[in-house]
Copies of this chain bind each other. A is one copy, B any other.
């Protein structure tokens, strides 16, 4: 038996293990210091009441003869798909139920969608980036071109005529930079995709943090995207589902390449290699989209946004350049005094007992930058920024 040799080309990431090692060492040497972690990439607020109640009810149902549900549709129950359809309708995006695929999260779908594409495609990936885009393509030996995101383009790289690629990843609001594309910028990407017969994989996992109605939350707000884009979204950050697992992927029926319907191909992939999201979880997800559910999740989102604002104000006061922090839980800042990412990490830890994430861990263009997140408590975020204020 021969193994998939592409796995040998994968790099081990030592980013988070190195951070943990440094923090452990610091704590050991400074047992009296309270370390505040602003490197967290995971939500911390509990599931909202509506979701808990809906799942309680669904669990009980599953224990009764009449309420029990066995195999569900692999692509998700209509009761949930209908809610998502209405959610898109609010932004004047018309979907069909068959264009919505419920999944256990954007990470799974972003990896598995590559099953539908030839290995011969060239992939365009922004740098800095969520490492999953890169590794999943290395596993299938696709040629990768990196797209330079940097301070000059506000970490929102735009297409150029000489860039030829078949698939491009766009994530807006971006992880790790928090930068958000506006409509005219996404229009240019859709135009480029059409000119190049390319496909946009649009990662909208952070759309719920956008509060400016003029900023697009979905690629399908852009005319023509239905024939050149797939959208991935998740309830992980929207409703604190990182440990509850539910997302959705939109593949329009109009999306045709090589005379093949990507909608039908994805349906075939999911019915063959997936058995759907637990009924209980889908009932929880449904509750997120109820009027009360939307009110409750927005309280949590606003809680995080308050933290992002506290961080942003402190950086502004000290004239530190940053992106994100408004329509995103992430703040991506230029390290002061031209420090490298890791120098600034050590400086923050040693001088203020604050932990963040060195930008260099997200790609070569992340060097000299640093990510802070808004997922700690209001109290801790305030205290961290008071400390930062003193040492800058």
The residues of A with any CB-CB pair to B shorter than 8 Å are 1-5, 7-8, 10, 42-49, 51-52, 55-56, 59-60, 62-65, 67-72, 104-105, 107-108, 111-112, 115-118, 120-121, 132, 135-136, 139, 166-167, 197-199, 240, 242-245, 257-258, 260, 262, 265, 268-269, 272-281
Q: Which residues of B contact A277 (CB under 8 A)?
A: 245
Contact B117 A2 (CB under 8 A): yes
Contact A245 B278 (CB under 8 A): yes
- A312, chain B: closest CB distance, angstroms: 24
Contact A111 B70 (CB under 8 A): no
Counting every copy of the chain, the complex holds 2
Contact B62 A273 (CB under 8 A): no
Contact A3 B257 (CB under 8 A): yes
The complex places the Cα of A262 from the Cα of B118 at a distance, in Å, of 25
Q: Which residues of B contact A59 (CB under 8 A)?
A: 52, 55-56, 59, 280
Contact A3 B243 (CB under 8 A): no
Q: Which residues of B contact A71 (CB under 8 A)?
A: 42, 242-243
Q: Which residues of B contact A240 (CB under 8 A)?
A: 68, 70
Contact B70 A46 (CB under 8 A): no
The complex places the Cα of A105 from the Cα of B74 at a distance, in Å, of 12
The complex places the Cα of A134 from the Cα of B269 at a distance, in Å, of 13
Contact B43 A62 (CB under 8 A): no
The 6 tightest CB contacts between A and B, nearest first, are: A111-B273, A2-B118, A52-B63, A42-B70, A46-B68, A70-B242
Which residue of B5, B136, B268 is within 8 Å of A273 (Cβ)? B136
Select from chain B the residue with minimum beta-carbon distance to A63: B52
Contact A1 B197 (CB under 8 A): yes
Q: Which residues of B contact A10 (CB under 8 A)?
A: 268
Contact B4 A118 (CB under 8 A): yes
The complex places the Cα of A290 from the Cα of B116 at a distance, in Å, of 41
Q: Which residues of B contact A135 (CB under 8 A)?
A: 272
- A299, chain B: closest CB distance, angstroms: 14
A68-B240, A265-B7 as given contacts; A275 in contact with B198, CB under 8 Å: no
Q: Which residues of B contact A65 (CB under 8 A)?
A: 45-46
Q: Which residues of B contact A117 (CB under 8 A)?
A: 1-4
Residue among A69, A71, A136, A281 facing the most chain B CB atoms (10 A cut-off): A71
- A314, chain B: closest CB distance, angstroms: 26
List 25 A-B pairs, Cβ < 8 Å: A1-B197, A2-B118, A2-B120, A3-B116, A3-B257, A4-B115, A4-B116, A4-B265, A7-B265, A46-B63, A47-B62, A52-B59, A59-B59, A62-B244, A69-B243, A70-B240, A104-B104, A104-B274, A107-B274, A111-B274, A132-B272, A135-B272, A136-B272, A245-B277, A280-B281
A59-B56, A104-B104 as given contacts; A166 in contact with B136, CB under 8 Å: no
Q: Which residues of B contact A166 (CB under 8 A)?
A: 1-2
